[in-house]
Amino acid sequence: MNTLFEWLKGLFARGQPTDSESFSLGGELMPTVSAFGSELNILFVRQLAFVAAIELIANAISKCEFETFEQGKEVKKEAWYRWNIEPNVNENSSEFLQKLITKLYSDGRALVIKASLLLPNTQYVVADDYEVVRNDLYPDTYRNIRVGETMLASGFSERNVYHFELPADLKSLVDGLLCGVYGPLLKSSVDSFNRSHGVHGIFKYETLPLSGDSKKAFDDLIQKGITKWLKADNSVLPLGNGHNISEIKLGASENSRDFKALLMDAFELTGLAMGIPPVLLTGQVAGIAEIVSRFLTFCIDPLADMMSEEINRKDYGREVLNGTYLQINTNRINHFDILQSATAMDKLISSGVYCVNDIRELIGESPIDEPWANQHFVTKNYAPFDSALDNVT
């Protein structure tokens, strides 16, 4: 599910009738370009910034591996397959996670149904709409659930769903700030830019006709002739005796830098609200390694923790205490350059932290089917502190 592509496609609405003034994005009705003509609507700036942020988070989560463990040992069984390959018969894991993250940040919450009660095998589907019946001391109930065009007849208890919620309605907060504060500023910037680059002039005439054919000809010249002449790329304007047009400048022409700065403010504010370093949304690449690290630490890792906690409490319960659990591994989000990381990989092996096959799995290579590839090695310069003191005389 490519959310950004859907937004741009809906924005320009090429396949829609010319009188269409809206399109749907994530359940929200958005106006098309034809709805506001030449005026720039702050809703589009807000929505583009929000969609870009969601796309960034969703892409990062889709690169994570949902690792499953039993009694402390990593296993790849049904749960691993569903979260990493095929959550349901109609979506792969990337499409599923894109939809899940989009719903989570657009609505502040998202519901995933464990459809084992409806289908032969357990499948995970994201609900498009639902109602929650809150029970403070007992499991909540979810009803009137809609998946696509299908309404599910039965309700689901808390134990049969994963209900993910954000601590705050980020979208409403960002919308309120951008639409309430930056909307007038952005419109003023656009109006000022258009005025400074428009054609302004003085039309001089000797006498003003008051009636008759002369008055009609004069009105046509003002309302049609001059207006059409100003808008045309190439044209000629016939003027009579006593008529003269001269162009004037209304101060220095403004450039688009102030306008772009306001647009960047929208992206930066959206990024700050969602825990994303603003430079990732605005396209700056200086110090990218540190920026990505902050993005993972303050945005992706907390999100992965929240999701894994919800899955673990529903699927494994207290078995987590015995080493049976699911873990969302965010280590694979960063692009891995094998040559640049060769020294670090050597250090991980020589210190005994990882075996050869552990490293190969991290870099996306298949494991080596040899006993030595699963052994842990330590170089001879590593020794217990007590044995190092024995050599001191």
Same domain, 35 and 104: yes
Same domain, 323 and 287: yes
Q: Is residue 78 part of a domain?
A: yes
Domain's final residue, options 286, 303, 332: 332
- Determine the Cα–Cα distance for residues 160 and 157; give it in Å rounded to an integer: 6
Q: Is residue 147 part of a domain?
A: no
Same domain, 303 and 352: no
Same domain, 284 and 347: no
Same domain, 180 and 272: yes
DSSP for 224-263, written as a single string: IIIHHHHH-SS------TT-EEEEE--SSPP-SHHHHHHH
CB contact burial 304-329 (16+ within 10 A = b; e otherwise): bebbbebbbebbbeeeeeeebbbbbe
Q: What is the pLDDT of residue 65?
A: 92
Same domain, 55 and 95: yes
Domain's final residue, options 289, 308, 332: 332
Q: Is residue 142 part of a domain?
A: no
- Determine the Cα–Cα distance for residues 357 and 367; give it in Å rounded to an integer: 5
Per-residue tokens: 226: 């001059």
Per-residue tokens: 252: 């220095």
User: Hey, which bits of 152-310 come out as E strands?
Assistant: 156-157, 161-165, 200-204, 244-248
* DSSP 8-state secondary structure symbol assigned to residue 223: I
Same domain, 301 and 392: no
* DSSP 8-state secondary structure symbol assigned to residue 353: S
Which residues does residue 110 pair with via DSSP β-bridges, in sequence order?
Answer: 164
Q: What is the pLDDT of residue 305?
A: 96
Q: What is the pLDDT of residue 219?
A: 74
Residue ranges making up the domain that contains 387: 336-393
Domain's final residue, options 294, 312, 332: 332
Residue located via tokens 């940040």 = 105
Per-residue tokens: 23: 């399109």
Residue located via tokens 């720039």 = 40
Neighbour tally for 50: CB within 10 Å: 26
Same domain, 104 and 1: yes
Q: Do strands 129-133 and 150-151 pair parallel, antiparallel, or not at all (unpaired)?
A: unpaired
Residue located via tokens 């583009």 = 48
Q: Is residue 211 part of a domain?
A: no
Q: Is residue 93 part of a domain?
A: yes
Q: Is residue 243 part of a domain?
A: no
In single-letter form, the type of residue at position 82 comes to: R
- Determine the Cα–Cα distance for residues 289 and 302; give it in Å rounded to an integer: 19
Closest by CA position to 142, among listed 100, 102, 114: 114
Q: Is residue 102 part of a domain?
A: yes
Same domain, 283 and 385: no
Maximal C-alpha separation, the chain: 122
Same domain, 62 and 182: yes
Same domain, 315 and 359: no
Q: Is residue 247 part of a domain?
A: no
Q: What is the pLDDT of residue 302?
A: 94
* Number of domains forming the structure of the chain: 2
pLDDT in tens, the chain (393 residues): 455 555 445 544 444 444 444 544 444 554 444 444 334 466 777 788 888 999 999 999 999 999 999 999 999 999 999 999 999 989 999 999 999 999 999 888 999 998 765 555 678 999 999 999 998 888 999 999 999 888 987 788 998 899 999 887 777 777 776 666 666 766 776 677 766 766 666 767 776 666 777 777 777 777 677 777 776 666 666 666 777 777 666 655 556 566 677 778 888 888 888 889 988 888 777 777 888 889 999 999 999 999 999 999 999 999 999 999 999 999 888 776 777 778 888 888 888 888 998 888 877 788 899 988 888 888 877 767 566 556 555
Residue located via tokens 């403004």 = 254
